[in-house]
Amino acid sequence: MALVDRQFIMTKIFDALGRFREWTPEFVLSLGKNYSLRSFISDARAGLLVSVVAFPLFMTFAIASGASPGVGITTCLVAGSLASLFGGAKFQIVGPTGAFAMIVADIVKDHGFEGLTFSMIMAGIIMILFGITKIGDLIHYVPYPITAGFTAGIGLSIIVAQMSNFLGLRLTEVPASFFGRIACCVINLPKINFYSFGLALFSLIFLEIMQKRRPNLPRYFFVLLFGIVASLIFPNVGMETIGSKFGDISGELPRFIAPSTETFSISNLQKLFPAAFAIAFLGSLESLLGAVIADNLSGQRHNSNVELIGQGIANLGSAFFGGIPATCALGTTSLNVKAGAQTPIAGLFNVLFILLFVLCLGCLVKIVPLSCLAAMLFSSAWNMASLKKNKYILLAPKSDSCVFIVTIFITLLVNIVVAVEIGLVLSAFLFIKRTVETTATKTFNKTMFYEENQEKECEVVKVYGHLFFGAAPLLQNALRSLPKTHDVVYIDMRDVPFIDVTGAKVLKEFVADVKWHNIQVIIGGLNRRTLKVLRKIDIQHELEPHLRNEIEKNRE
DSSP secondary structure string for all residues of 181-192:
HHHHHHHTGGG-
Measured distance CA(65)–CA(220) in Å, rounded: 19
Measured distance CA(316)–CA(247) in Å, rounded: 26
State which of 392, 424, 456 marks the end of a domain: 424
Residues in the chain: 556
pLDDT number for residue 69: 87
Q: Which alpha helices (DSSP H) does 321-344 contain, by range?
A: 330-338
CB atoms within 10 A of CB 536: 11
pLDDT number for residue 541: 54
Residue 257 belongs to some domain of the structure? no
Q: Clarify whether residues 339 and 364 are in a common domain.
A: yes
- Neighbour-count burial of 435, counting CB atoms closer than 10 A to its CB (0-12 exposed, 13-18 middle, 19+ buried): middle
Measured distance CA(11)–CA(32) in Å, rounded: 5
Do residues 327 and 307 lie in contact, with contact meaning Cβ atoms separated by under 8 Å? no
Angle at Cα 543 formed by Cα 537 and Cα 548, nearest 5°?
100
Residue 431 belongs to some domain of the structure? no
State which of 397, 424, 451 marks the end of a domain: 424
pLDDT number for residue 353: 93
Q: Clarify whether residues 51 and 164 are in a common domain.
A: yes
pLDDT number for residue 489: 84
| CA dihedral sign of residues 359, 363, 366, 367 | negative
Q: Clarify whether residues 372 and 473 are in a common domain.
A: no
Do residues 282 and 327 lie in contact, with contact meaning Cβ atoms separated by under 8 Å? yes
Do residues 407 and 145 lie in contact, with contact meaning Cβ atoms separated by under 8 Å? yes
Residue 279 belongs to some domain of the structure? yes
> Which residues fall within 8 angstroms of residue 264, CB to CB, at 6 or more apart?
118
Do residues 461 and 477 lie in contact, with contact meaning Cβ atoms separated by under 8 Å? no
Q: Collect the ranges in the chain with pLDDT lower than 70.
A: 1-21, 33, 136, 139-140, 250-252, 447-456, 538-556
Q: Clarify whether residues 509 and 372 are in a common domain.
A: no
Residue 253 belongs to some domain of the structure? no
pLDDT number for residue 450: 53
State which of 385, 402, 424 marks the end of a domain: 424
pLDDT number for residue 556: 47
Q: Clarify whether residues 324 and 458 are in a common domain.
A: no
Residue 255 belongs to some domain of the structure? no
Measured distance CA(376)–CA(513) in Å, rounded: 70
Q: Clarify whether residues 21 and 137 are in a common domain.
A: yes
153 closest CA partner among 378, 385, 422, 377: 385
Do residues 121 and 319 lie in contact, with contact meaning Cβ atoms separated by under 8 Å? yes
Q: Clarify whether residues 228 and 303 are in a common domain.
A: yes
Q: Clarify whether residues 392 and 481 are in a common domain.
A: no
Q: Clarify whether residues 387 and 534 are in a common domain.
A: no
pLDDT number for residue 516: 75
Q: Clarify whether residues 344 and 388 are in a common domain.
A: yes
> Which residues fall within 8 angstroms of residue 180, CB to CB, at 6 or more apart?
none
- Neighbour-count burial of 78, counting CB atoms closer than 10 A to its CB (0-12 exposed, 13-18 middle, 19+ buried): buried
The kind and range of the H/E element at 438 are: none
Counting Cα atoms < 13 Å in the Cβ hemisphere of 397 gives 6
Do residues 249 and 242 lie in contact, with contact meaning Cβ atoms separated by under 8 Å? yes
Residue 504 belongs to some domain of the structure? yes
Q: Clarify whether residues 344 and 484 are in a common domain.
A: no
Q: Clarify whether residues 542 and 397 are in a common domain.
A: no
Residue 260 belongs to some domain of the structure? no
Residue 62 belongs to some domain of the structure? yes
> Which residues fall within 8 angstroms of residue 418, CB to CB, at 6 or more apart?
410
pLDDT number for residue 319: 93
* Overall number of domains in the chain: 2
- Domain, as residue range, for 500: 438-555
Do residues 351 and 81 lie in contact, with contact meaning Cβ atoms separated by under 8 Å? yes
Q: For position 519, which CATH number holds?
A: 3.30.750.24
